[in-house]
Amino acid sequence: MPASVRTVNLKPPLTEADVSNLQIGDKVLIEGTIYTARDAAHKRLFELIDANKELPFALKGQVIYYVGPTPPRPGRPMGSAGPTTSYRMDTYAPRLMELGIKATIGKGPRAPAVIEAMRKFKAVYLVAIGGTGALLGRLVTKSETIAFEDLGTEAIRKLTVSGFPAIVANDVRGRDIFTEAVAKYAVK
């Protein structure tokens, strides 16, 4: 892990240069547009991809946040927006990275095939802290459902975020904060 934690500002769409400089343990603050998608939305997204149909958003350089937000309070664009466990999207992640996704946000570790895809296609995995959904929801300044509205909380949304915090858990070099941190702090 890096000797000191860096804070890096990211503004999607991301380039290979943006993600290549990130290291596990770095804190990132995201400004701008990110997209939401969970299991059901990924399944439908892949049906469109496999049928060579138009997608609800261009994948190149984008960030997908694995979240199923709660309904907003009056005057707010979004309610609580805590991260979903990422391994549920591991089946889909490698191909989405191949098609241009540069970052995903969720919680928990990723499968070896996903880590390899990040290395191969120059993408990163960011973790948001579970239990902070109310705070994360307040960092959403705009929310628009852009696909699969019938899925409710699992619809794809285009979010505008300001200062959205996450930690780099997997970088483009194939490093994994979950295995490295455990090894670093393991009782010998």
pLDDT at 182: 80
pLDDT at 2: 53
Residue 98 near residue 117 (C-beta atoms within 8 A): yes
The pLDDT tens digits for 141-179 are 999 999 999 999 999 999 999 999 999 999 999 999 999
The pLDDT tens digits for 104-147 are 999 999 999 999 999 999 999 999 998 899 999 999 999 999 99
Q: Indicate if the pLDDT at residue 94 is higher than 80.
A: yes
Token pair 């019938």 is at which residue? 150
**7-185 CATH:** 3.20.130.10
Residue 62 near residue 93 (C-beta atoms within 8 A): no
CA 23, 86, 89, 92: dihedral to nearest 10 degrees?
0
Q: So which residues are the catalytic ones?
A: 42
**Helix/strand/coil for 66:** coil
pLDDT at 188: 72
Q: Give residue 188's Cα distance to chain centre.
A: 34
Domain edges within the chain: 7-185
> pTM score, two decimals?
0.94
Give the Cα separation of 66 and 105 in Å (integer). 6
Return mean pLDDT, the chain.
Answer: 95
Residue 121 near residue 144 (C-beta atoms within 8 A): no
**Helix/strand/coil for 157:** strand
The pLDDT tens digits for 21-33 are 999 999 999 999 9
Q: Give residue 48's Cα distance to chain centre.
A: 20
Q: Indicate if the pLDDT at residue 4 is higher than 90.
A: no
